[in-house]
Amino acid sequence: MSSLFSRRLLSLSLLTVLAPVGNAEELHATNTDPELQQPPPAASYGVDCSFPIHSDYEANSCGDLLGDRQKFYEDLIAGCRAKYAYRCDQTEEDRILQLRHQPQSLLNYTTHGFAKIRAPERLFRILKNHWERNKDKQGYEEKWPKGHTYVNHWEHKTTYYNLGEPELGGGLDLAELVSDLAQPIIEEWTGQELRPTSLYGIRVYHKGSILAPHVDRNPLISSAIVNVASDPDMEEDWPLEVYDRDGKAVNISMSPGDMVLYESGTVIHGRPFPLKGKYYANTFIHFEPTGRTLEDVDEEDNYYDSPENPAAYEGDVRLPPYMIAGSEAATRYSISNHWGWELDGSQFEEEFDDSEEDDEDSEDEDEDESMEEESMIERKEAAHDSSSPSCLSNTDPALAPAECQSELESSMKTATA
């Protein structure tokens, strides 16, 4: 399922409690939470050791540092090819191409690009409740496009328990609440006003799963992963591998309730080592910067077109505020997005009525009366029909293959136009 959100700008009352920030350099001085300042642990190796990231791996220069990773990779792709033939190689080529050009095409807003914190208690409780009431049911099998290599689904299926699904005790409000609870945290971390672009979960990986290192597609830029539950008897940790600003690998270990904030469009992330446990359940929460810092927001002006902050264009196409003009990503964006980027998602609210979807945990509902009027959400129904895999219906947008890119972006457009 992919949920596309559109919501009003944060209310002023919330913003007044957040420290104002100036520019990206000053950001970190205002993030006083020590957990957000923690430097990442030292790492010894860079890209193309654990998995092909910038090269096709024919010359893995890391030797046996991590065991025979070349053989591991070749076996993995051979398994994919046996089922999907050349499509696997196409996906791999696209994945590597995107890893090579995208990070330097997008603005970074934080010092390290990632940070591990504890999820707010309420956010974790909602996710955990959804997991607890569904974990013994058979989850929906995720449908991956043919030849999609990001997850080794041809060998190890992934399942999910849609947070937006009333039959599972979820609902649109529940999904939206999850996003709403994460938003101020990531806004404070990045110093940017954000708007929701996707919520995905709960995904469950099973024994043997890997997640190929990748960067997320537009417009999934400022993001969080929450570990909802994982096998307490895992044989070994299943680290999230990220690459720091110096290009070195860092393993991040996550326990249930941990939340990793990451700049998902620029920070390479994956889980290249097979899961040695029965299950590992995550939720992914994504936003994009609106182009305003938190300080700008309460001015309620047309910040974008102000002389100090002119919007960037590629040809006639207005670029998202986090995309660098003249970059490769900008060129690609201008080709597939003829309307260009727009801020205002407010018209969408009037068209959408989710009043019949109120079906969430009553304890949470009671606590948040303002939620319904605060924001609106569009849900794309998950289609569980394997005969017609669609880019939008059942593909995690973070991992959508290249051919889904323009479809994904134009759906965001529809949601906000």
Ligand X SMILES: *[C@@H]1O[C@H](CO)[C@@H](O)[C@H](O)[C@H]1NC(C)=O
Binding site for ligand X (CB under 6 A): 43, 66, 103-104, 107-108, 113, 236, 239, 245, 249, 251, 266-267, 273, 324
Q: Least distance from C-beta 53 to ligand X, angstroms?
A: 11
Query: Please, which residue, 103 or 139, has the CB nearer to ligand X?
Result: 103
Query: Please, which residue, 147 or 265, has the CB nearer to ligand X?
Result: 265
Query: Please, which residue, 127 or 240, has the CB nearer to ligand X?
Result: 240
Q: Least distance from C-beta 245 to ligand X, angstroms?
A: 5
Q: Least distance from C-beta 88 to ligand X, angstroms?
A: 24
Torsion of CA 84, 89, 91, 94, to 10 degrees: -170
Q: Least distance from C-beta 210 to ligand X, angstroms?
A: 11
221: CB partners within 8 A, 6+ apart: 106, 197, 263, 264, 265, 286, 287, 288, 289, 322
322: CB partners within 8 A, 6+ apart: 106, 107, 109, 221, 265, 288, 289, 291
How far apart are the C-alpha atoms of 368 and 375, rounded to whole Å? 12
Q: Least distance from C-beta 113 to ligand X, angstroms?
A: 4
Q: Least distance from C-beta 249 to ligand X, angstroms?
A: 4
Nearest to 328 by CA among 342, 316, 314, 317: 314
Query: Please, which residue, 251 or 406, has the CB nearer to ligand X?
Result: 251
Place of tokens 């018209």: 347
How far apart are the C-alpha atoms of 227 and 33, rounded to whole Å? 20
DSSP 265: T
For residue 353, give Cα distances in angstroms to 164, 169, 350.
15, 19, 8
Give the torsion sign (CA, 138, 139, 140, 143): negative
Nearest to 110 by CA among 325, 255, 264: 264
Q: Least distance from C-beta 414 to ligand X, angstroms?
A: 29
